[in-house]
Amino acid sequence: MFCKHCGVLDGEAACRFWTKNSGRGCNVNTWPLPICSGAALEIIKKKVASLYLWPQSLEIPILDASTVAVKKPVGILHVKVVRAMKLLKADFLGTSDPYVKLNLTGEKLPAKKTTIKKNNLNPEWNENFKLIVKDPQSQVLQLQVFDWDKVGGHDRLGMQLVPLNVLTPHDTKEFTLDLLKHSNITDPRDKKQRGQIVVELTFVPFKEDSAKFNEPLHGGSENSSEDERLSGAGLLSVMVQGAEDVEGEHHNNPYASVLFRGEKKKTKVIRKTRDPRWNEEFQFTLDQPPLHEKIRIDVMSKRKRFSFQAKESLGHVEINLDDVVHNGRINEKYHLIDSKNGVIHVEIRWDTV
């Protein structure tokens, strides 16, 4: 394994220290860290300072990014973008073509967008969105209102932030928010009125995580109807862990492609290997459990430079999701179809709300 920071080939750095003249300083030899980063050298210096019996050996592991723990989704944020009022006039004719972008901090997923309302400073959307929540105590909903422009970039008319920790699980809360130029609300330089936006937010934890958020009991008919409206929704999580013995006729640069309900998601490409380790997870938010449905995973090989064999299939598998829905989770190795000995390791979870 090659560390891009330190040039380490075997996944760990072995450093040996000794002194030429006890009590008068020391020489420090590092191997194999000829191009080690400053941060790693600082770690070594601190460890050396804590040692007093010499010679000694110290091993500092270099973590692979794929081994870092990924936070598991704990629920879904239901967002209804209701309307905006008294927006800025961005166009030459004294109007705007607004739309709203929304996303949660700490996520790399593309932002959700409303439709565009042409020539309207008081647009009504009433559009619903679902966002995957991993940490309701620290994540923040970011709302940005833009003026759509046919040519060039779109001007931002205003923005606002809503911390998720102000929400009570299962309770729908409406917010009427004053739009700001940017997130620095204490900046006195911009006093321009930018209008308001109205949104309704509901955080629904997955059933297995509900106890973590101290949910209140809901006995009223209004709350019951709200629960009934959200029932059946859930999150399908697909963890593509790795593959074994995948072999291409022209090259071996494997990646996995996950196809579900017409939506395709891909892992990174790992070059020159028959045993790739991806450890990548993909999520699909669904209104109903995916009973009697299948998910397809293709293992492909991709050559970076142009050639007639730029892409090559290394095998595929189709997984029936009934067992996932009934059991909540499967963790299996599957023999790849159209592959001599190839196997893929997949974990799939279904978390309901």
**Residue-level pLDDT at 108:** 77
Is 234-352 the same fold as 75-230?
yes
Per-domain residue ranges of the chain: 12-63, 75-230, 234-352
Q: Are 293 and 287 in contact (CB under 8 A)?
A: no
Residue 124: pLDDT over 80:
yes
Q: Give the single-character DSSP code of 211.
A: G
117-121, 170-174, 212-216: which has the minimum mean pLDDT? 212-216
> Which of residues 328 and 61 earns the better pLDDT score?
328
pLDDT score of 146 more than 80: yes
Tokens of 179: 């739009």
Percent of the chain that is helix, strand, coil (3-state, to 5): 10, 45, 45
- As a whole-number percent, the residues of the chain with pLDDT over 90 amount to 53
Give the strand order in the sheet containing 294-302: 263-266, 254-260, 294-302, 311-320
| Residue found under tokens 């967002």 | 79
Percent of the chain with pLDDT over 70: 69
State phi, psi for 282 to the nearest 5 degrees: -125, 145
Average pLDDT rounded to a whole number, residues 170-182: 94
Residue found by looking up tokens 């990646």 in the block:
255
Q: Residue 150: which pLDDT band, with cuts at 50, 70 and 90?
A: confident
Q: Are 300 and 253 in contact (CB under 8 A)?
A: no
Instruction: Give residues with Cβ within 8 angstroms of 324, minimum separation 6.
Output: 236, 290, 330, 348, 349, 350
CATH of domain 234-352: 2.60.40.150
Q: Are 106 and 81 in contact (CB under 8 A)?
A: no
| The predicted structure's pLDDT at residue 286 | 86
61 has a pLDDT exceeding 60: no
User: What tens digit of pLDDT does each residue of 98-113 get?
Assistant: 999 999 998 877 899 9
* 3-class secondary structure, 30: strand
The tokens 């893929």 sit on which residue? 344
| 294-310 average pLDDT score | 84
Q: What is the mean pLDDT of the chain?
A: 80
Higher pLDDT, 334 or 61: 334
pTM above 0.75, yes or no: no
Strand ordering across the sheet containing 196-205:
124-133, 75-85, 196-205, 173-178
Q: Is 221 left (phi over 0), alpha (psi -120 to 50) or beta?
A: alpha
Predicted confidence (pLDDT) at residue 90 exceeds the cutoff of 70: yes
The Cα–Cα gap between 222 and 290 comes to 28
Q: Could you give the CA distance from residue 270 to residue 304 in angstroms, rounded to a whole number? A: 11
Q: Is 16 helix (H, G, I), strand (E, B) or coil?
A: strand
Q: Which residue type is seen at 87?
A: L
Instruction: Tell me the sheet residues that pair with 37.
Output: none
Neighbours of 292 (CB within 10 A): 9
Higher pLDDT, 95 or 142: 142
Q: Which one has a higher pLDDT value, 227 or 163?
A: 163
Residue 280 has phi, psi (to 5 degrees) of: -115, 140
Architecture of the domain made up of 75-230 = Sandwich (2.60)
Hey, how many other C-beta atoms are within 10 angstroms of the C-beta on 148?
16
| Residue 298: alpha-carbon gap to chain centroid | 21
251 vs 254, 310, 333, CA distance in Å?
A: 9, 9, 23
What letter represents residue 186's amino acid?
T
pLDDT at 25 over 90: no
